[in-house]
Amino acid sequence: MGPPQRRILIADDHEVLRRGVRTFVENRPDWIVVGEAADGQSALDLALECKPDIAIVDYLLPILNGLDLTRRLKRELPRVEVLIYTMHDREDLILEVLRAGARGYVLKSDTGGHLLGAIEALSVHKPYFSGAISETLLDRFLEADQSASGTTLTQREREVVQLIAEGRTNKEIGHALHISVKTVETHRASSMHKLKLKTTAELVRYAVRNNIVQA
């Protein structure tokens, strides 16, 4: 009797990369891709439907970015293991996703062996970090208190800010997040008040600086 089959979800806005990861994953008979998504909200919806064991997630996803997707996944499906698979190696990003609950971090510039090793490790609930993640960084994470870093925005406020920065209208944001336009306006006003911002342009600049969206 072979090892149990691991169910894998891939979330990346580049179809070619999703296809590549799928091909790589499906070389193993005990791994199966149960869903692919091009944005964070679709990935969350798929995860709730498919209940994957591992979610391979890019950091910069539309609608719901990789950080906030990780938080939502760990809240809704605590047993899912999140592997961040991205081209970004900034230490502040890595620390944020670790705090959010991701247990794997691999760069797209790494060899396929790192992706393979990460999936194998997360399959048995062990962490995996590619060579880009220094021991010093891990020590900093382990020693750091778990206080929120950077911003006082709530999860929903961050989601609204991301969609505003992506140029969505209040109606489109309400539809994407399944909330009313009035609630969108409330979150927008609350976010701008907390951040002491006066214009949408300032809010967009904040979102770019704080890695909520890509410039």
| Highest mean pLDDT: which range of 37-51, 93-107, 154-168, 179-193 | 37-51
The Cα 48–Cα 63 span in angstroms is 17
Higher confidence at residue 158 or residue 34? Answer: 34
What tokens does 44 get? 């969350």
Residue 132: band (very low, low, confident or very high) from pLDDT cuts 50, 70, 90: low
Distance separating alpha carbons of residues 158 and 30, to the nearest angstrom: 37
Backbone angles phi, psi at 144, to 5 degrees: -70, 150
Query: pLDDT tens, 28-60?
Result: 889 999 999 999 999 999 999 999 999 999 998
Is the model's pLDDT at 1 over the cut of 60?
Answer: no
- The position carrying tokens 């391979």 is 56
Contact at 8 Å (CB) between 37 and 137?
no
Distance CA 174, CA 157 (A): 12
The C-alpha atoms of residue 121 and residue 179 are separated, in whole angstroms, by: 38
CB-based burial of residue 125 (10 Å sphere; 0-12 exposed, 13-18 middle, 19+ buried)? Answer: exposed
pLDDT at res. 142: 60
Question: Angle of helix 66-76 relative to helix 40-50, nearest 10 degrees?
Answer: 20
pLDDT of residue 36: 96
Give pLDDT, residue 150: 46
Residue type for 169, please?
T
- Rounded to the nearest angstrom, the gap between the alpha carbon of residue 200 and the centroid of all alpha carbons in its chain is 24
**Residue 140 pLDDT greater than 70, yes or no:** no
Predicted pLDDT at 129: 84
**Most confident segment among 36-40, 138-142, 175-179, 187-191:** 36-40
Write down the pLDDT at residue 199.
85
| pLDDT for residue 50 | 95
Q: Under DSSP, is residue 106 helix (H, G, I), strand (E, B) or coil? A: strand
Where do we find the tokens 């969609």?
Answer: 163
**Span 102-113, average pLDDT:** 88
Q: What is the DSSP letter of 55?
A: E
Q: Which domains, and CATH codes, for the chain?
A: 6-143 (3.40.50.2300), 155-209 (1.10.10.10)
* Structure token pair of residue 194: 């907390």
Q: Percentage of residues in the chain with pLDDT exceeding 90?
A: 48
Q: Angle at CA 106, nearest 5°, toward 18 and 28? A: 55
Q: Which residue has the higher pLDDT, 132 or 150?
A: 132
CB of 204 within 8 A of CB of 164? yes
- Condensed to tens digits (0 to 9), the pLDDT of residues 61-85 reads 999 999 999 999 999 999 999 999 9
